[in-house]
Amino acid sequence: MRLNLRFIIGIIVAAVSLFSYYFHTSKNEVTGETQHVNMSADQEIALGLQAAPEMAAQYGGESPDARGTAIVQQVGQRIIASTKAGQTPYKFQFHLLADDQTINAFALPGGQVFITQGLLKNLTTEAQLAGVLAHEIGHVVGRHSAAQVAKSNLTQGLAGAATIASYDPNSPGSSVAKAAVAAAIAKVIGLRFGRNDELEADRLAVDFTPQAGYDPRAMIQVMQMLEQQGGRSSTPEFLSTHPNPGNRIGELEKEIAAEFPQGVPAGLKK
């Protein structure tokens, strides 16, 4: 009887998790995709603002480099003003972080965008900076964090349901094994979606950069620099936090060729 009750409870938990995931959908006005998200734009903004100070502290806080900060903010706001990103409800703010040893850039949900001094000093043109920032803006408008949270809630709910339904008091180790398998599956799913997110952020950056007056091919130069840095020493943190979906340079070249079949227009900042 207890086994049946546990099984029924597990089924209920799984059903609630699935219902919550599949019946909370929203059409993304920038990408046109229908996404499974359970957060509003206001909630994303609030979450990003709450997390921003802690994330900045991990990289030494805001940089004292006033000139570098001004350039980052100027380029970031130029992209926002020139693209669909500026038509979203997100409140974009651009931050230069003091860490000059770590090569990284990232975005929090709602529009908080960060780049480290370590990455900025390795960029040689304004267009390269625009490519990095446009990629991070792509993560924000693509609602990748919100989608990941929804996916994580689903997998955690299903893992919990499986643990409840399969728990055997005579063999307590069985639930541990099943939970470990569920966690591994969740990790694989998260990695796959992370790679898809990177490809979409790249596609959006290829779209955004020329609209703001920058040559999208500068993004390829950034990837080449990151690969060179990885060959010289440890892998740049940017490549750890932004999974490489196969040949990323090749994918960028395909996207640029598709966007500009007659060639990239002259006059864009390189």
Active site residue ranges? 136, 202
Q: 105-108 and 112-116: which strand pairing? A: antiparallel
Is 238 in contact with 224 (CB distance < 8 Å)? Answer: no
Is 41 in contact with 27 (CB distance < 8 Å)? Answer: no
With CA atoms as reference, report the closest residue to 73 among 18, 41, 114, 32.
114
| Long-range CB contact pairs, 206-210, < 8 A, 24+ | 206/252, 206/255, 206/256, 206/259, 207/83, 207/259, 208/79, 208/82, 208/83, 208/85, 208/134, 208/137, 208/138, 209/79, 209/127, 209/130, 209/131, 209/134, 210/259, 210/260, 210/264, 210/265, 210/268
Residues contacting residue 175 through CB under 8 Å, at least 6 positions apart: 163, 166, 167, 168
Residues contacting residue 34 through CB under 8 Å, at least 6 positions apart: 25, 26, 27, 28
With CA atoms as reference, report the closest residue to 212 among 142, 149, 127, 148.
127
